[in-house]
A and B are shown apart, each in its own frame.
Chain A
Amino acid sequence: MGSPRRSRRGRGLAALAAVLTGVMVAGTACGGDDDGGAGGKITLTVDTFGEFGYEELFKQYEAQHPNIKIRSRKVSDLDTYKPQLQRWIGTGSGAGDVVAIEEGLLPTYMQQANKFVNLFDHGGAALKENFLDWKWQMGLTPDGKQLMALGTDIGPLGMCYRKDLFAKAGLPTERDEVTKLWPTWDDFLKRGQEFQGKVSGTKWLDGPQALLRVTVLQEAGKGPGYSYFDKSNNFVVDSNPAVRTAFDTVLKFQQAKLTANMQIFTPPWQTGLKRDAFATVPCPAWMLGGIEEYSGDYGKGKWDVAGIPGGAGYWGGSWLAVPKQTKHPKEAAELAKFLTSPQGQLGAFKSANTFPSSPKLYSDPAVAQASNPYFNNAPVGKIFGDAASQVKPVHLGPKNEDVRQELENVLVAVGEGKTQPGQAWTEGVDKARGVSD
């Protein structure tokens, strides 16, 4: 101590610290919980990703429940949503009152079901027949004692295609004829080569990611009923022929340069939609909402939906859960029940085409006869309803998403010319194994 210079510096630091403390105090004051809100309203935050089609339902629910205000937090891309949710649930704070859990993430959170409200405590048992049996089962903990999550949609598959670009390439444009163009993925590949021979500047498919998802789930559904992990959650990427077949299929498209190498819902993909970067997108029912949202007026009437090559399959679908950290478990559970009820699923289907997991709706004319004006009045109810009836559930392991990302990256690298096709499989398996435990 002692030298005047140092003590002056000490004072400066103290002043700085005082300022910092002040800022922090102010920060906490502002960060206070606004749950109490004006007029004693309860605010419920709902976390979703992609397109759930809930906006209208939220308004409806708020109108029916004047004491509830709903705050929607929507993230466009699942890969961005995933780590956020993990952090919120893991640290016990930050999560919405109702959170969407995609099927690939569900097994991870099933390991920590105690972090979520048991919906059996909120009248969940009565809801069983609202859902397809497998969809209901997947929301239960293995011992069957906790109802952790309620199903929203399922993703039966179709193939979205650009009618106008098909016409330009001299391909048929009517959806039934288009479906006949590609019974198998090999046929689909050949049509793609023909297409790219005639239309320059447009790739046949959007990218390897969507294709890999679809083919893996198709093959796993046809075969063993699991993909990257077997039913005891052992890593089986290297030994499961279903994965290999799917990977090789996608690899062929990458080698033939038939994809634009984009990833669904990312900004380049969104731009690509408006710049005719690709002519087809593998389309689980919910994808229609995404295409409509991101192509806007530009794409209206240009898109249509046909059958998917390679047999029936599904991709995705989600559940809603109520994290235990919520301050309003009762109200949140009620909201989750409303959104997953047949009525809620119907509302979501109408606005974002997320296909219901409630079989009660399949015979309902509002679904069975539904058509989508944005997609040239495609009879989406019939197309996806037929596909839904053939869906075979596929078991996913807790690290499913990490493995999927690694395999996708390798396929993108092949498309970029950064990885040799001959090495893609070995490299993919290596990287996948690296993140599998």
Chain B
Amino acid sequence: MGLDVRPAPTRRRAKAGASAPPPDRGARARLSRLDIKISPYLLISPFYLVFAVFGAFPLLFTLWMSLRDRELASGKDEFIGLRNYTELLGDSAFLNAVVNTLGMFVIATVPQLLLALLLANALNRRLRGSTLFRVGMMMPLITSTVAVAVVFTQLFDTDFGLVNWLLGLVGVDPIAWQSDRWWSWVAISVMVDWRWTGYNALIYLAAMQAIPKDLYEAAAIDGASRRRQFWQITVPMLRPTILFTAIVSTIGGLQLFTEPVLFDNGDTDGGSTGQFQTVAMYMFDSAFSNDDYGYGAAVAWMIFLLIIVFSLVNFMFIRRMGGVR
């Protein structure tokens, strides 16, 4: 990377400037030109160095690994080209995991963002103790995911859980939270929403406060109701923010892992028929449980592709939404 040449000029320049009058104007000018050209890069280099070590390297290493058949326990390690990927595309367990992930993504994210929007709108009004409410919304976020998942897993226990007990009080039959595909998705989505709704609401709130008040005043003078103001002013003005939260939720949702794993008592197979195995869990299951690291790496790259595709979909969807402007 030629890193070693960079610090040298700056240091020499500093020394030269401090000690004696310039011995050689030409050299000094060259150095100062070099300084202008290189120093900014030098200043931003720590980020890129950190990224290279913790971002780019693992990324490329995973890519390299995904082209190999690698087992840790037996020590097997050979190059097999794209075979992991071709196998993956015909792998019903992988497709099942993709469907699960997307399903949970939709039923977690859509209500989450809507709810966050409404919450933010409510908090945007004058309220007694509004700081308290705002801080309160962040509380789930700073709780450890593991703690949240452990508690919710107990709440959603089929035989001895609080939720089924409460449902029993109103005469509803116990729900098989773990074994039923749909209900397991719902339970996991509830955990996700509990944790992230407040976070998104706070982001929306910040954006709402940046909307000029005179827009609302003008609308009020024209006789627009509160609801109309919300849908025709607030939401369109929030579009970039909504886009941001949608993308962030996409990235998070497609990597969903901790909640469903703990929901399955720490196993990565996502229930007996893989009914709530996410792609991230399948990656873990392939690599760490079945000791097929190459295959796991290929799954990791598929997650990456999925995230890009769905972020783009979201981007286009939200750009078309609320056609004002």
Contact = CB atoms under 8 A, between A and B. Distances in A.
Interface of A: 1, 7, 10-11, 13-14, 16-18, 20-21, 24, 77, 79-80, 82-83, 86-87, 89-91, 108-109, 111-112, 260, 263, 266-268, 271-272, 275, 277, 398, 402, 405, 409-410, 412-413, 416-419, 434-435
Interface of A is mostly: helix
A18 B46 contact: yes
Given A14-B46, A275-B159, A413 B273 contact: yes
Contacts of B176: 416
Contacts of A17: 44-50
A187 B48 CA distance: 69
A24 B47 CA distance: 13
B57 interface: no
Contact of A80 (B75, B159, B266, B290): B266
Contacts of B48: 17
A82 B93 CA distance: 22
A268 B179 CA distance: 13
Given A89-B72, A268-B159, A271-B157, A83 B179 contact: no
A86 B73 contact: yes
Given A21-B50, A266-B265, A410-B272, A14 B74 contact: no
B40 interface: yes
Contacts of A417: 179
Given A1-B40, A83-B289, A112 B50 contact: no
A263 B288 contact: no
Contacts of A7: 40
A151 B159 CA distance: 39
Nearest to B267: A79
Given A10-B40, A83-B288, A266-B265, A418 B273 contact: yes
A11 B179 contact: no
Contact of B273 (A91, A271, A277, A419): A419
Given A268-B159, A412-B272, A10 B44 contact: yes
B50 A402 contact: no
Contact of B74 (A10, A21, A398): A398
Contacts of A13: 44, 47
Nearest to A9: B44
A86 B291 contact: yes
Contacts of A11: 43
B275 interface: yes
A5 to B, nearest CB: 13
Interface in B107-127: none
Nearest to B293: A90
Interface in B56-104: 72-75, 93
A108 B269 contact: no
B160 interface: yes
Contact count band on B? 20 to 34
Interface of B is mostly: loop
Contact of A21 (B44, B46, B160): B46
Contact of A268 (B72, B265, B267, B284): B265
A90 B43 contact: no
B127 to A, nearest CB: 33
Interface of B: 40, 43-50, 72-75, 93, 153-154, 157, 159-160, 176, 179, 265-267, 269, 272-273, 275, 284, 288-291
A267 B157 CA distance: 10
Nearest to A275: B160
A17 B53 CA distance: 12
29 contacts: A10-B40, A10-B43, A10-B44, A11-B43, A14-B43, A14-B45, A16-B47, A17-B45, A17-B46, A18-B46, A77-B265, A80-B266, A83-B289, A87-B288, A90-B72, A90-B73, A108-B291, A109-B73, A112-B73, A260-B159, A266-B265, A268-B157, A268-B159, A268-B265, A277-B159, A412-B272, A413-B179, A418-B273, A419-B273
Given A17-B50, A86-B291, A90-B72, 5 more contacts: A20-B46, A21-B46, A267-B153, A271-B159, A402-B290
B288 A86 contact: yes
Given A17-B47, A77-B266, A416 B272 contact: yes
B73 A108 contact: yes
Nearest to B291: A86
A112 B179 contact: no
Nearest to A201: B159
Contacts of A416: 176, 179, 272
A17 B93 CA distance: 40
B136 to A, nearest CB: 28
Given A14-B46, A410-B272, A272 B159 contact: yes
A20 B50 contact: yes
Contact of A112 (B40, B75, B269): B75
A273 to B, nearest CB: 12
A111 B288 contact: no
Contacts of B266: 77, 79-80, 266
Among B72, B93, B267, B272, the one with the most A-chain Cβ atoms within 10 Å of its Cβ is B272
Contact of A89 (B73, B179, B269): B73
Among B40, B44, B73, the one with the most A-chain Cβ atoms within 10 Å of its Cβ is B73
Contacts of B288: 83, 86-87
Counting from the closest, the 6 A-B pairs by CB-CB distance are: A90-B72, A17-B46, A416-B179, A17-B47, A412-B272, A83-B288
Given A271-B157, A275-B159, A86 B273 contact: no
B72 A91 contact: yes
B31 to A, nearest CB: 18
A89 B291 CA distance: 12
A418 B275 contact: yes
B73 A111 contact: yes
Among A13, A109, A398, A434, the one with the most B-chain Cβ atoms within 10 Å of its Cβ is A13
Among B46, B284, B288, the one with the most A-chain Cβ atoms within 10 Å of its Cβ is B46
Contacts of B47: 13-14, 16-17, 20
A13 to B, nearest CB: 4
Among A79, A109, A268, A272, the one with the most B-chain Cβ atoms within 10 Å of its Cβ is A268
Contacts of B40: 1, 7, 10
Contacts of A260: 159
Contacts of A89: 72-73
Contacts of A90: 72-73
A190 B72 CA distance: 46
A14 B40 CA distance: 10
Contact of B272 (A24, A267, A409): A409
A347 B45 CA distance: 59
B14 to A, nearest CB: 18
B179 A418 contact: yes
Contact of B269 (A77, A80, A272, A409): A409
A239 B47 CA distance: 58
Given A17-B50, A410-B272, A398 B73 contact: yes
A215 B266 CA distance: 26
